[in-house]
Structure 1
């Protein structure tokens, strides 16, 4: 991104009660039920999980003070040379025609800061005004001449913003600005760069599901940006790049579908071996100064989002950015918000000098959010499911290799101290007091204490709290975790789940248990003494996430395996079949066509039913039938002229579907009460 972050400010979704209003006392509030389920394992915390962006307009990017602050926050990845500047930056002469290059921001200075921070580097090669030869020369300078060992290389930044879809903020000298040209050029860059150092990883830019211009097909294209890029360049890349500026603080619930839909696109279009392709969120920020960009509400959204993205398998989340500069100055949650998208103060004043930021490198609230996440979930820990019964309280948990468990609780209420009662499944905490990490509104550090219990805690308003617990029973001698499960022979009601055997501990393994994640509750699908299991009672068109756990002869359990996610289909044969096609999509709604084929006996009237998978989806309008919606359920009844369908006959109906989050399409349709085959 450029120095001034160009993002539309959305309305502040987290309404903050006026500070003069009396705070709700914890004794007057019903305790919030929090569930932590250690059997429901998610992703393992990656080494590069906590990241941020450096930019060549920031003369402090390479200073020891900056590096030491980032190290203290647990930052493990630094991205360079700075968002949209990447597509005008030429590394060899350290210039960015049309932009400002500050002193002491060259590549060697950046790498010096990376090393002092103890982080890895991610470098964005210039796609917009550069060449594959220039990028390959940069790889040579970095890894052959200098020996920096930079492994992660992006090809361009937000290149869909080059005017191809209307909006143009990204530099692009290519005459052809289509996704096909970008994909062809990514292949050329990857070949040239890997010829210099075959060990590097190449990343390609994708659009983020439900964020413009995702799903839009421009004139002359063979599909959306993601479909075209992955279809052409999929075999040459190692990771994909998403950016997310949600604009409001209530969008964390979109993350699981956002990442799952990205994985499904990779699997559908990138070709054989696509499971190797990782997902990087190389720019993230709340996206609106009205939300508290550098005050506590923004920090809480940051902690919640980082934990959720990493738990869903993203290998890095990179805050935009370290130093950014003053913007619109407001009061948020009782503190001055400088509209600064940085982690650290730039120490500058606004244009008329009436308001100045704190001293250079003073940490803003999101800095402490990153520090909290890095102390809560460390590289090698495994996220496990956690859930809260209160919308203003979110919960995350991570299990450590030594058997400890960390639980992070986020209270987004501006005026209520919430008592929480924590229930643990698959884990028994020791009876001693836990270690407690806390960051509250306006605090300039994270406090550490020991006290209270593992099962009850009161959360101050606008706070982050992490509990670190020890296990009640020794962990030595337990079985190792089973390996990554895979699914095969998936039908509408069954799937064969297979996994590598676990290593036994001090006693033999006697069986494996297969558990389905149902929110933060596990449902055991079955058990076996072997290394595969086929449940036969699954629901059609349903996404399942399962884990496998080993149990030894003494009844001791292993850690849960890595998660497996798969989706069942619909019946292979039925008396009806349905095909849903998208006629057009504008990234917040679409025109859908539904072809209903009667494969059974003739009918003289019909009703089609389906449900929206997500709460942020709704029916806009429909035609060629009488459409109604009740909650998430949609019903279509034939019109007078299309009610009679003979065997093999097809009726086509259409609708406008609206969405404000990742658009998971309906996949299960019933025709006169019968589940149809979805084509």
Structure 2
């Protein structure tokens, strides 16, 4: 789109507070007894509209495209000390049935006012029978591991160390995962303050220093525990913002200073959206956000950055929280995050309470963040929730996730040609493939044609589990075929397939590959999986991988790659009988730009305010002759980024491609400077490749 060429804005311009900040998760109106109401019927929903004729969608499933493996704490949920049902047998049973593997305690922002020893939270409400031992008893009944939040805001390192001693030495709970604080960037340092913080210095530098002190004190008690530090999710406030007095953003400051002592980075994600349809598009940000976060960790986390995992311990939606949009989002987000290597994903919350009443696609939505009904009513008692502990739609989505993503499974690549149908798949250790299909169309059914690559399904009707809009539970049975399924409107469908042939002795999957990369080549290497094998290297490309080459050795050089492009590859082994192994773990690498070129470009984000930034571009002519008039071209990495305005040249954007033109001469060795205001509504990945008059420049 054409843009004007105004003068540069004031470099201090831009809001000092988030335009969109995470919604409040702590509902203080959950008073004692509020969760004890039962026997109340829900508002009757109008009859569902007649479904439209099914549209046809192509879905590809490629078991050669291996993604992340599913660990033993993948599926999580939050528990809060203001929830009187915390740890009760009824709730523990429901969570166990859903396959919950991790429980987070003591509950979001309450963690930064909570003192475990006397079970108090000054300024907040603590329900009876929600102390740490009660929580651990409930976690044991659930079969879940704990994720414990140590009090950073109003606590001390000694208090946290004493908690570790009580949990793991005195009681023998073997609590492995401990996070230092909750959303501590929300302490006012960036202009918005919802998180308690008694430190005089609210900066990320102080948080990092305190994380080090906590980690040292806590690991002195039990060296086996894992310590997590709070980071921001790329694309969520205050990602990218540099606070007053800081040298860099929250993530860079914390990782640079405390990366050597932490074991995982803890992030939250409330992507927003003003309509259910918009909310359900936000899962399209996951791959880029996870990649950017991993890149930040690897860049700033120090020599041991590779050991730092990622946990997502809060997520939810703004629209349709306890109806079908919440369910569809949960299934899509959990699958997308786990596939990208996040080791645990947690819904906020088990119970939360009634809010603003609306109707979403014929179903009453109570604006409740909880998986289970609190059984309470609104202020004038005109509307009440279903009976206490009645599962809401997201609970059933979580239950389907428990059947879908099991410990030891590996996510594999999928692709779909319809934006309203999301697809995810896993390959099980026994060779089975499970495919999760999500129809985000509220009005129409979609007929899905399934195509498999590297896998041949057995004949006959497969096992199918479905949860559709307005359903009270997941339905299971056999339906359709391995290659054709009809998805109800607003539904989640799990298809489990056996292989047509089971080989008892397939080759061992190759271990993690590595790569040495230039601007146009990559030499990919891997450990040997045994003798007499041929290796095949595939590049992931949606749901159909491309074969890059094959060899009997343990390395392959791939040529003619595009500069500045991200590639994800897998290695598979094939024996003399033609039997193919499972895919190796994925390797993602990015090609660079030329080491030498006739031009050099430097792009800097000089001022960021959470959904926009000021970009500064320096263009240097390295050639011996002047350039009389120039055109600089680059492409945004995502569809949610754009140029709002530019200066010192003419700026124009068409689709994702930006052209910057000038009639001025650029002398040999000279540098031209220009700039722009950029806008973004998701993770802000800066462009890496620039061409000047058709020549690919060196990017610095």
Q: Secondary structure at the match of 2:314?
A: strand
Tell me the equivalent position of 2:476.
448
Say whether residues 1:547 and 2:578 are aligned partners. no
What is the CA–CA distance in structure 2 between the aligned matches of 1:451 and 1:467, rounded to whole Å? Answer: 9
Cα deviations across residues 300-336 of structure 1 (Å, max 9, x unaligned)?
1110111011011100100000010111111111111
Cα deviation 1:519-544 (Å, max 9, x = unaligned):
22211111111111121221100000
- Equivalent of 1:467 in 495, 503, 514: 495
1:622 pairs, out of 612, 630, 646, with 646
Pairwise CA distance, 1:21: 5.5
The DSSP-based 3-state class of the residue aligned with 1:606 is: strand
Contact 2:280 2:440 in 1 (8 A): no
Equivalent of 1:251, from 282, 305, 329?
282
Q: 2:404 aligns with which of 376, 399, 406?
A: 376
Look up the SS of the partner of 1:227 in the other structure. helix
Distance 1:610 1:2 in 2: 40
Report how far residue 238 of structure 1 moved. Answer: 0.2
Question: Given the superposition, is the C-alpha separation of residues 20 and 294 from structure 1 closer, same or farther in structure 2, using an over 3 Å criterion?
Answer: closer
Where does structure 1 differ by over 6 angstroms across 4 or more consecutive aligned residues?
none
What secondary structure is seen at the aligned counterpart in 2 of 1:593? strand
- Specify the alignment match of 1:497 in structure 2: 524
- Does 1:650 pair with 2:671? yes
Other-structure match for 1:670: 691
Q: Does 1:284 align with 2:305?
A: no
Is 2:163 the counterpart of 1:142? no
Q: Distance in 1 between matches of 2:200 and 2:191?
A: 15
- Please give the alpha-carbon distance, in whole angstroms, between the structure 1 residues aligned to 2:399 and 2:133: 26
Structure 1 residue 2: Cα displacement: 4.7
SS in 2 for 1:421: strand
Is the 8 Å Cα contact of residues 617 and 658 (structure 1) preserved in structure 2?
yes
Aligned residue number for residue 179 of structure 1: 204
> Per-residue CA shift, 1:599-652, capped at 9, x if unaligned?
01212211111111111011111111111111111111114xxx2222211101
| Contact kept? 2:479, 2:485, Cα under 8 Å | no
Q: Does the residue aligned with 2:461 lie in a helix, a strand or coil?
A: coil
- Which residue pairs with 1:197 in the alignment? 222
- Residue of structure 2 in register with 1:565 after alignment: 588
- Kept in 1, the 8 Å contact 2:689–2:699? The answer is yes
Pairwise CA distance, 1:550: 0.4
Aligned residue runs from structure 1 range 58-73, under 5 A: 58-73=83-98
Within the candidate set 335, 338, 344, 2:366 is matched to 338
Question: Mapping of 1:210-359 within 5 angstroms?
Answer: 210-247=235-272, 248-286=279-317, 288=318, 291-359=319-387
Equivalenced residues, count: 654
The structural deviation recorded for 1:63 is: 0.5
Q: Does 1:75 pair with 2:92? A: no
- Give 1:19 deviation, angstroms: 7.0
Within the candidate set 113, 122, 129, 1:88 is matched to 113
Question: CA RMSD, aligned part only?
Answer: 1.3
Structure 1 residue 37, shift from structure 2 partner: 0.8
- 2-structure distance, mates of 1:446, 1:5: 33
C-alpha displacement of 1:475: 2.6
SS of residue in 1 equivalent to 2:109: helix
> 1:102-149, CA deviations, whole angstroms, 9 ceiling, x for partnerless residues?
000000000000000001000000000000000000000000000000
Question: Of 538, 541, 551, which aligns to 1:515?
Answer: 538
Alpha-carbon distance between aligned partners in 1 of 2:610 and 2:575, rounded to the nearest angstrom: 50
2-side partners of 1:604 and 1:297: how far apart?
55
Structure 2 unaligned regions, length at least 5:
1-23, 30-45, 273-278
Counterpart of 2:665 in 1: which secondary structure?
Answer: coil
Mapping 1:593-612, distance limit 5 Å = 593-600=616-623, 601-612=625-636
Q: 1:90 and 1:155 mapped to 2: Cα distance? A: 14
**RCO higher in 1 or 2 (8 Å CA, sep ≥ 6)?**
2
Q: What is the CA distance between 1:20 and its match in structure 2?
A: 7.2
CA distance in 2 between counterparts of 1:431 and 1:575 reads: 59
Q: Secondary structure at the match of 2:550?
A: strand
Taking structure 1 as the reference length, the TM-score comes to 0.95
Q: How does 1:405-444 map to 2 (within 5 A)?
A: 405-444=433-472
- The 1:307–1:419 alpha-carbon spacing in structure 2 relative to 1, beyond 3 Å, is same
Deviation at 1:297, TM superposition (A): 1.7
1:154 and 1:605 map into 2 onto residues whose CA distance is 55
Give deviations 1:4-54, integer Å, cap 9, x for gaps: 299xxxxxxxxxxx977642122xx3x111111111111001111110000
Which one of 359, 374, 389 corresponds to residue 417 of structure 2? 389
Aligned to 1:481: 509
Distance 1:389 1:216, change over 3 A: same
